[in-house]
Chains A and B, each alone.
Chain A
Amino acid sequence: MTSNETQWPLWEVFTQKDDGSPHEHAGSVHAADAEMALQNARDVYGRRGNVVSMWVVPSAMITASPSDQAGPFFEPGAEKIYRHPQFYKIPRGLKGF
């Protein structure tokens, strides 16, 4: 590739669909700095509305779990079913627990 070509860093974009929802990964953009990353993210991933908040994070800052070890990394958590609310029986008829 051409050696003098500039390449703005990559940023990961997280959008929140409405108040109280979690921020979810929407995609990425290139930008030279955080302000521009936020603006680009808004234009690219927010242009159809239904976004109330956005985060941008330099892609290089993300540390990912080793995917070929998905088993050892996450299964222990999945086994702890007591962490999941569905584990607990609640008397039938009780609403708004």
Chain B
Amino acid sequence: MLGHRLSEWCGHGPILEEDIALANIALDLIGQATLFLKLAGETEGKGRSEDALAYFRDAIDYRNVELVEMPNGDYAYTMVRQFLFDVFSYHMLEQLQKSTNPALAGIAAKGFKEVRYHVRHSSEWVVRMGDGTEESHTRAQKALDDLWRLTAEMFQADDIDREMAAEGIGPDIAAIEPKWRAVVDDVMKRATLTIPNDPPAMTGGRKGRHTEYLGHMLSEMQIVARSYPGAEW
């Protein structure tokens, strides 16, 4: 989802160098999503391909945190969103590399290498915007204020998460939070940004209760694939 969102910047970035950087990150993320969806389809065993899962599921059947479906906003919003997710992804994939499921561990190992660079890119931008001009600081702070409420959802383990963690397949996502928080605190300090005290928003993305944004995003993404059922591309 986030990769898809980032790709919307293609051709509209603040400078050519950033167009290229964002495209790289989008490619990594969509690549990771493809591998995870492929594995999910195989595990399910009903013959659903990664494309079937991406293009022929409705929003209600998507299981992503709401943070990543939020619209791009300005560049500060995009970068703060990216950073908050990248740090989570970094720690999640780091753990997932140790999964008892070798396929999952393999995908995680590949993704982990990529996300290390993503964190570097987004954190350096958050720092530059926070500690840049007055305007960039205001924009970055506003982005952080808006998005902070959505971060708690990343660490809310449900029964499946707990079961997976118990079997050593998935990471203990609640345990990731303090590590995530330490990195975020550090970067926000460098960026001279203030972490808000707001309580977490009522989120339901991981149960299929998404923001209104996801439906629009998917309607665009799925239009061609769904208009020609059974077609090869």
Could you tell me which A residues sit within 8 Å of B by CB distance? 8, 29-32, 35-36, 39-40, 42-44, 47
Contact = CB atoms under 8 A, between A and B. Distances in A.
A29 B124 contact: no
Interface of chain B, helix or strand or loop or mixed?
Answer: helix
Contacts of B24: 43, 47
Nearest to A8: B15
14 contacts: A8-B15, A30-B15, A30-B17, A31-B17, A36-B124, A36-B128, A39-B21, A39-B121, A39-B124, A40-B17, A40-B20, A43-B21, A44-B17, A44-B20
B57 interface: no
A47 B20 contact: yes
For the complex of A and B, the 9 pairs showing the least CB-CB separation, nearest first, are A40-B17, A43-B21, A43-B20, A43-B24, A44-B20, A29-B17, A47-B24, A35-B124, A39-B121
Nearest to B22: A43
Nearest to A6: B15
B120 interface: yes
Interface in B107-142: 117, 120-121, 124, 128
Contacts of B17: 29-31, 40, 43-44
B124 A40 contact: no
A47 B21 CA distance: 9
Interface of B: 15, 17, 20-21, 24, 117, 120-121, 124, 128
A69 to B, nearest CB: 35
Nearest to A43: B21
A40 B117 CA distance: 12
A42 B120 CA distance: 12
A47 B24 CA distance: 7
A29 B4 CA distance: 26
Contacts of B120: 39
Nearest to B27: A47
A39 B15 CA distance: 14
A44 to B, nearest CB: 5
